[in-house]
Chain A
Amino acid sequence: RKEVEQDPGPFNVPEGATVAFNCTYSNSASQSFFWYRQDCRKEPKLLMSVYSSGNEDGRFTAQLNRASQYISLLIRDSKLSDSATYLCVVNLYSGNTPLVFGKGTRLSVIA
């Protein structure tokens, strides 16, 4: 089983739609979790951290389910500018590979 798995998509949604991505991780000792956003041919940028209590930042909501070992990202009222690849990141903290990235989920918001 891969350390971090994501559905690669693409998810094609109309403007204004709500879309959700899931990401599963294999190491139950994982310490912290993040979502990064990567635009085409650009560097990844931190979107938000993910906490057990869940967290919200405007139209974006992230949730963590430690029992089932998955994290989710919900985007409400999608904008054209939300079109990007969303990378799930898990911090193992210990061992040789501190932060592990998923392959990313591609989102296209269409007018």
Chain B
Amino acid sequence: DAGVTQSPTHLIKTRGQHVTLRCSPISGHKSVSWYQQVLGQGPQFIFQYYEKEERGRGNFPDRFSARQFPNYSSELNVNALLLGDSALYLCASSLVAGADEKLFFGSGTQLSVL
């Protein structure tokens, strides 16, 4: 069975541009979460979607947005890119959303903003 898949794997953008990252969850998983990981830090929560509705939002500016599609895949959009947005963006899916939630991560999208 396929795990969580993310595309693209690497991306180079310049300041002010817009980027769209894509994620397909494990089959049967209805929850998708997005995390940003800067080198040397743990993953920082950006968004969670469960059954196509936003369940949680981390402390990120409005330039970050996301959505989940009827097939449970998800997109993360970032507008007006800043140098500080350079990071590894991880998508994770889980079977349930709640106390027993266990995350399965994709291999991430490495975003470099020049």
Are B105 and A96 within 8 A (Cβ)?
A: no
A72 within 8 A of B: no
Are A49 and B43 within 8 A (Cβ)?
A: no
Are A99 and B107 within 8 A (Cβ)?
A: no
Are B104 and A98 within 8 A (Cβ)?
A: no
Are B99 and A32 within 8 A (Cβ)?
A: yes
The verdict on A100 contacting B100 (CB below 8 Å), with A43-B106, A43-B107, A44-B90 known, is no
Are B97 and A103 within 8 A (Cβ)?
A: no
Q: Which residues of A contact B48 (CB under 8 A)?
A: 98
**In the bound complex, CA of A45 to CA of B107 (Å):** 10
A104 CB to nearest B CB, Å: 5
**In the bound complex, CA of A36 to CA of B33 (Å):** 16
**In the bound complex, CA of A49 to CA of B94 (Å):** 14
Residue in contact with B33 in the complex, picked from A34, A46, A99, CB distance below 8 Å:
A99
Name the prevailing secondary structure of the B interface residues. loop
**Contact stretch, chosen from B50-58, B61-69, B78-86:** B50-58
**In the bound complex, CA of A46 to CA of B101 (Å):** 11
Residue in contact with A87 in the complex, picked from B42, B58, B107, B108, CB distance below 8 Å:
B42
Q: Which residues of A contact B57 (CB under 8 A)?
A: 96
Q: Which residues of A contact B100 (CB under 8 A)?
A: 32
**In the bound complex, CA of A25 to CA of B55 (Å):** 22
Chain A residue at smallest Cβ distance from B57: A96
Q: Which residues of B contact A4 (CB under 8 A)?
A: 42
The 8 closest A-B pairs by CB, nearest first: A101-B42, A43-B105, A31-B99, A103-B42, A93-B99, A101-B43, A96-B56, A97-B45
> Taking beta carbons and an 8 Å cutoff, which residues of A are in contact with B?
4, 31-32, 34, 36, 42-46, 49, 87, 91, 93, 95-104
Q: List 12 A-B contacts (CB under 8 A).
A: A31-B99, A43-B106, A44-B105, A87-B43, A91-B99, A91-B101, A99-B45, A101-B35, A101-B42, A102-B42, A103-B42, A104-B41
